[in-house]
Chain A
Amino acid sequence: MRKELIAFLAFRDILKDRRIVLLVIFLMTFSFINLTFFPAFLNGLSNTFQEEVIDTVTAHILVEPSADSKDKIIDHEAAARKKIELIPGVQGVSSRIVMPAAISYKGRQAAVPLIGIDPERERDASKIYKRIIAGEFLGKDDNEFIMLGREVAGERLEDKIGKTVIGKEEEGLGGVRLGDIVKVKFQNGVEREYKVKAVLGREVFSSVAESAFIRSDELSSVLGVHDKASSILVRLEDMGKADDVKALVLGMGIPNVQVKTWSEASNFAVGIKQTFGTVIYITSLVGIVVVVSTIGIIVFINVTRKRRIIGVLKAIGMHSGDIMFLFLIQSLFFVIVGMILGTVLLHVLLYYFSQNPLLLPLGFLVPSIGFDSIFWAWVIMFVSAVFAGYIPASLAAREKIIETIKVVE
């Protein structure tokens, strides 16, 4: 029998009860969103984590003293840095010196990691200059200046970005303002005063917010060291090349260092990604169950209601396979319309959130999803629909004609 005729019958049947159609399509659309938007949301969340770590701590490649080096410091950082700068595709290289220090202000004290940076190089290698809430990034001769993380300064986050996120007024140094003088006590006992030039670290999940920054030449001179670094951050034009560049850096034979790519260096962010992956997997299973049961129930109700008509059609001469095909068309119609609407809605949502990122305590979140995930959601929906429609349809199609047309007297 001609497939067009079966399709015609299938659509006539669908269109008879439009409210049900709308309901089913809504459920399918919702299921698709459930399969895609939630993962996109979590994906965005782990990207936020990952980007924050890359932008402020690890860059794309992180060179650190090797675990067995005795001073936990990189010697001859300038030579190493210059060699790395020559590698094609390297966007910026910046050395840091990190030391614990105690900062005091108006009788309050905070113990912080004090990070010595080269502000110019840091602009190419990291994004901490973009984390400024108030004030300005350190400049060339700013040896008497310091930048404080938001939690160190005790800034209230809501003051600066207009929304209440968190923020205890009485945290850190209890509300240091720009231009205030703080006293820093270094590990070697030296004490110096610095003027606050900036407060940084918008995101709550941000090591920047818990640190303090001065120029690395200043820190080196206080510590009495020269040409040393605690870490070298390397930013690439294409983070996808991290493994290649890592191999090149390793090949340079810089003594007593270990070289890690961003994914190796940020175990935490990678762990979060994997955790979310598991969560996504579980919610996808729930999504599949929703699709399968919705389609299954709809087709089941439909075939049950039409039991006798199916018998009549078979008596007239319709083959069982054609009956199956009829219900298959219906399931596929529902699921395909749901997939199309769901894909459109997903992109509307993604667009909306790309324009209006969600501000969570963790930072800005832009939901994002790769085409491969969307593609898999399509496949899952499609296969679920075929599978879910197949069972009740085949039960109906296989039933004996005389059973269905029997008149109960």
Chain B
Amino acid sequence: MIEAENLGKIYQDGEIRVTALDDISLKIGKGEFISIMGPSGSGKSTLLHLLGLLDFPTKGSIKIRGKDVSKLDEKQGADFRLKEMGFVFQFYSLLPELNVLENVCLPQLMLEGKSNDYAAELLEIMDLAERKRHYPGQLSGGEQQRVAIARALVNRPSILLADEPTASLDSKNAMNVMAIFKRLNEELGQTIIMVTHEEALGRMAQRGVWLKDGIVVGERRF
């Protein structure tokens, strides 16, 4: 599904060069739920951004379903993300002026110009069917994050990418989100890449990859 080879990312801020990723090769299979762990600053987010085509690597290549996506330009990358990828961020990322259902439908409207029942179905799965007409400001953090997950899934992406999706939540809501990820993975076969610095949550995936100073320092199936 995803093949990253010798990925490297160097941030250059004037004189200062920061090697965020040194040399990372990683294969992720279809239907896999993988967690990327490691201490703060180890390069987890950078790796996720590269895999999610939100940023360009300074070296190496990424193939997704056999297609070399590291060569896509900005627009092609955006179109690819819209179709093939779903993102869940740490912070609340919903549009405050749209209601829950509209937020979930948005990527569908962007892709196809119309929406179907799948958004409502996903809200059902997220246990938010009753909150369809509510606005993000009326929801708790955990509920907002579940709406964001529904939005990430509405175009049936090949890959769901989540960067610290539970970091802003209390432990009960965090567990809830993890349970949803697990179910999506097990029941729908959703490929998921999740970044977390919390081992306990990371262990709920099928496989864990540990980073430190921009390189892979450990890997394990759970």
Chain A residues within 8 Å of B, Cβ to Cβ: 1-2, 5, 9, 12-13, 15-16, 308-309, 312-320, 400-402, 405, 407, 409
B19 located at the interface, meaning its Cβ lies under 8 Å from any Cβ of chain A in the complex: no
Q: 19 other contacts beyond A9-B98, A318-B78, with CB at 8 A cut-off?
A: A2-B109, A2-B110, A9-B95, A12-B95, A312-B87, A313-B95, A315-B54, A315-B81, A315-B87, A316-B81, A317-B78, A317-B81, A317-B83, A319-B75, A319-B78, A400-B55, A405-B89, A407-B167, A409-B40
Provide 24 A-B residue pairs closer than 8 Å at the C-beta atoms, listed in order of the A residue: A1-B110, A2-B113, A9-B95, A12-B95, A13-B97, A308-B93, A309-B93, A312-B93, A313-B95, A314-B78, A316-B82, A316-B106, A316-B107, A318-B78, A319-B74, A400-B55, A401-B49, A401-B54, A402-B49, A402-B54, A405-B89, A405-B93, A407-B91, A407-B164
B124 located at the interface, meaning its Cβ lies under 8 Å from any Cβ of chain A in the complex: no
Are A318 and B110 in contact, with the CB atoms below 8 A?
Answer: yes
CA A1 to CA B82, docked complex, whole Å: 11
Are A308 and B97 in contact, with the CB atoms below 8 A?
Answer: no
CB distance from A407 to the nearest CB of B (A): 5
CB distance from B40 to the nearest CB of A (A): 6
In the complex, the chain B residue whose C-beta lies closest to that of A314 is B78
Whether A5 contacts B113 in the complex (CB less than 8 A), given A15-B97, A312-B89, A320-B74, comes out as yes
B173 located at the interface, meaning its Cβ lies under 8 Å from any Cβ of chain A in the complex: no
Chain B residues within 8 Å of A, Cβ to Cβ: 40, 49, 52, 54-55, 74-75, 78-83, 87, 89-91, 93, 95-98, 106-107, 109-111, 113, 151, 164, 167
Q: Which residues of B contact A318 (CB under 8 A)?
A: 78, 110
Whether A16 contacts B97 in the complex (CB less than 8 A), given A316-B81, A318-B78, comes out as yes
Q: Is the interface of A mostly helix, strand, loop or mixed?
A: helix
Q: Which residues of A contact B82 (CB under 8 A)?
A: 316-317
Are A317 and B111 in contact, with the CB atoms below 8 A?
Answer: yes
Q: Which residues of B contact A1 (CB under 8 A)?
A: 110
CB distance from B196 to the nearest CB of A (A): 13
Q: Which residues of A contact B167 (CB under 8 A)?
A: 407
CB distance from B180 to the nearest CB of A (A): 19
CB distance from B123 to the nearest CB of A (A): 18
Whether A5 contacts B109 in the complex (CB less than 8 A), given A309-B93, A317-B82, A319-B78, comes out as yes
CA A317 to CA B164, docked complex, whole Å: 20
Are A16 and B110 in contact, with the CB atoms below 8 A?
Answer: no
Q: Which residues of B contact A309 (CB under 8 A)?
A: 93, 95
CA A409 to CA B195, docked complex, whole Å: 15
Which of B87, B90, B111, B164 lies at the interface centre, i.e. has the most chain A CB atoms within 10 A of its CB? B87
Which of B52, B78, B111, B164 lies at the interface centre, i.e. has the most chain A CB atoms within 10 A of its CB? B78
In the complex, the chain A residue whose C-beta lies closest to that of B102 is A12
Q: Which residues of B contact A407 (CB under 8 A)?
A: 89-91, 164, 167
CB distance from A322 to the nearest CB of B (A): 9
Q: Which residues of A contact B91 (CB under 8 A)?
A: 308, 405, 407
CA A407 to CA B40, docked complex, whole Å: 12
